[in-house]
Amino acid sequence: MSAHQIFSDALLTDGAACPPGLTTWNQSDPERRFAVYRNNVIVSLIDALADSFPVTQELVGEEFFRAMARVFARAHPPRTPVLACYGELFPGFIEAFPPAASLAYLADVARLEMLRVQAFHAADAEALGVDRIAALLADETQLGECRFSLQPSLGMLRSGYAVASLWAAHQAQDCAAALGEVDPLTAETALVLRVGLEVEIFRISTGAACFIDQLLQGLAFGPAAEQGLAADAEFDLASTLGLLIQGGALCAVTTHRSTTS
C-alpha cells in the first residue's frame, strides 16, 4: 500500500492511528494534531453536502443530516478538489441508508438538488434568437423536421414522489403551510434549467417529459411531439414549447437547409 493510500485511509477512518513518519514543527503530539486535521476535513465535507442539499437537510433535520453525511463522507471521499460538485453519489447512498428508510422520497429530493448543482455549473450556450424561433414557428413543415440542441444545464428527474412540489414548498415564505398542501406520494417529473444566473425547477407533465427526452435524443420536432402525445393524451405542446423558449432552453437547430445556433 502506498504512503498516499495509508494517509488517506487514516484520514477518513475515525480513531485510526496517525500515519507513521509524521512530525510537527513545534514538537507537539503528531497524533493529536492529526486528529484535529481529520476532524476538520470531515466537517468541511459535511458542510459542502449541506450547501448542496439544503432541502434534504431540512426534511430530516440538521442533526440527522450531518450524522448521515459523516457516514457518507468517510465511505465516499471527493474524487476532485472542487467541493462544489461533491455529492454525486449521495442520493444513492441515502436510498440504501437504513435510518432514512421512513422517508422514501428523500433520495429523489437529493437527486433533484444534485441536478440543481450540476445545472449551476454547466457550460454556457447561447439561446436561439427570437427572430430565428419565430421564423421556424411560421413554417410548420420545416419545424416538424427540425432537430434542436438543448442547453447543457437542462436536466430532468422522473420520480414516483412529489419532488418538485416538495422543493418548491421549502422555498415558500410559510414552508409549513406549503408543505401541508403537498402529497409526497404523488408522482412528478421535474425539469431543471439554468435561466440567466438562477437555476429554476419546473413541474412538467408526462407528455412534456417524453417530448423533451426525445429532443435530447436527437429526434426531430414533429416525431418528438407525436411521442409526447402518445405518452400523454393531454400533452400541451404549445405550453411546453413556450416554457422551453422562455427559459432559453433551445440553443441550436438543425434543419434540412442549415444549422443555426
Segment 131-165, tens digit of pLDDT: 999 999 898 888 999 999 999 999 999 999 999 99
233 falls within a domain = yes
Residue type, 189: T
118 close to 53: Cβ distance less than 8 angstroms:
no
Please answer whether residues 229 and 206 qualify as being in contact, where contact means their C-beta atoms are separated by less than 8 angstroms: no
Co-location of 99 and 127 in the same domain: no
My answer on whether 142 and 227 are in the same domain is yes
Same domain membership, residue 261 and residue 136: yes
Provide mean pLDDT across the span 10-34: 63
Comparing 218 with 10, which gets the higher pLDDT? 218
Q: Assess whether 189 and 240 both reside in one domain.
A: yes
On whether both 53 and 135 belong to a single domain, the answer is: no
φ, ψ of residue 189 to 5 degrees: the values are -115, 130
User: Is 116 domain-assigned?
Assistant: no
Q: How many domains does the chain have?
A: 2
Average pLDDT over residues 69-76: 94
Q: Give percent of the chain with pLDDT exceeding 70.
A: 83
Both 145 and 33 in one domain: the answer is: no
- The reply to whether 44 and 140 lie within a common domain is no
On average, the pLDDT of the chain sits at: 89
Tell whether 29 and 141 lie within a shared domain: no
Enclosing domain of residue 6: 1-103
Work out the average pLDDT over 3-26: 62
Residue 261 has pLDDT above 60, yes or no: no
- 146 and 255 co-located in one domain: yes
Which pLDDT band, with edges at 50, 70 and 90, does 63 fall under? very high
